[in-house]
Homo-oligomer: A and B are copies of this chain.
Amino acid sequence: MLELRHLRTLAALHETGSVSHAAKRVHLTQSALSHQIKVLQSHYGLPIIQRRGQSIELTDAGKRLVALADKVLQEIQATERDLAKISQQPSGSLRIVLECHTCFDWLMPLMDEFRQHWPDVELDLVSGFHSDPVKLLEEGGADVVIGSEHKRRRGIVHHPLFRFEILAVLAPEHPLRGKRILHAADFAGETLITYPVPEDRIDLILNVLKPSGINPQRRTAELTVAILQLVASRRGVAALPSWGLKNYVDHDYVIARRIGANGLWSDLYASTLKETASRPYLLDFLVTARNTCFATLDGIVPLE
């Protein structure tokens, strides 16, 4: 008989287009999902997915079930929000510190949605640069920090969001365009265009260039589009999350290349105080964040 677990995996299958990735998404093994799919298929006497070489494709029946899953899971989340509001006062504050500049892309629509669901929660974006943002939590100046920090610290919980790849961005005519993969040495003599943050906040410098003793010139820009514009006009190269690049790459505005053999990856966490972690609106925020990111952002991977 159909159960919600099936719908949850269906949704994950749709998001990821692969059984093993979907498995990570729902915190199960690939085998478990494979068995679930088998049960579903024999229950309805219909194929749900179809192997298409490497990955899989949903059949018509599968798509119909995904449509159901989307609707149902949304309704469940809405219900659970209501239950949370019944069980306690739905007020409080959610002041967000954003360490990852590009994350504005997905955070903005998310905040709009959140405001609708929790009108009584004071929602804010804490602006300005902070050397130790997690400290802000302890000082009571913020409620969530979205960044890649996740070292254990007492009183603090790091909620995993997702892992994403950072790609090198070049102008289409850039001399390095012929290489499929860039290494540290390739950045020597280049100008690196970044957000205006210290070196130790830039993964490329911290994890790739510094260890190789490479120290390119830097130039900063506040906005992602500005960085891309500079790259396209050959003022330098940049390193940005893969998800925000798709549109620009598809239109040949810039090209993107992997950094290092395995790629340069970064993990994103939402950190809160332990006490804050149990607030229903915070949990709802996290769930919604993960859901919308996995649904809209290409190439991201579940964490943990």
User: What residues make up the interface of A, taking CB atoms closer than 8 Å to B?
Assistant: 1-5, 44-46, 60-61, 64-65, 67-68, 71-72, 75-76, 79-80, 82-83, 86-87
Contact = CB atoms under 8 A, between A and B. Distances in A.
Contacts of A82: 64
Given A1-B4, A2-B4, A46-B87, 5 more contacts: A3-B5, A44-B80, A65-B83, A68-B76, A72-B72
Copies of this chain, tallied across the complex: 2
A75 B71 contact: yes
A41 to B, nearest CB: 11
Name, among A68, A75, A76, A87, the residue most crowded by chain B CB atoms within 10 Å (CB to CB): A68
Contacts of A75: 68, 71-72
B46 A83 contact: yes
Contacts of A45: 87
Contact of A61 (B1, B2, B83): B83
Nearest to A85: B64
A83 B64 CA distance: 8
Contact of A79 (B1, B3, B60, B68): B68
A4 B5 CA distance: 9
A68 B82 CA distance: 11
Contacts of A86: 46, 60-61, 64
A87 B3 contact: no
A226 B87 CA distance: 52
Nearest to A88: B45
Contacts of A44: 80, 83, 87
A26 to B, nearest CB: 11
A1 to B, nearest CB: 8
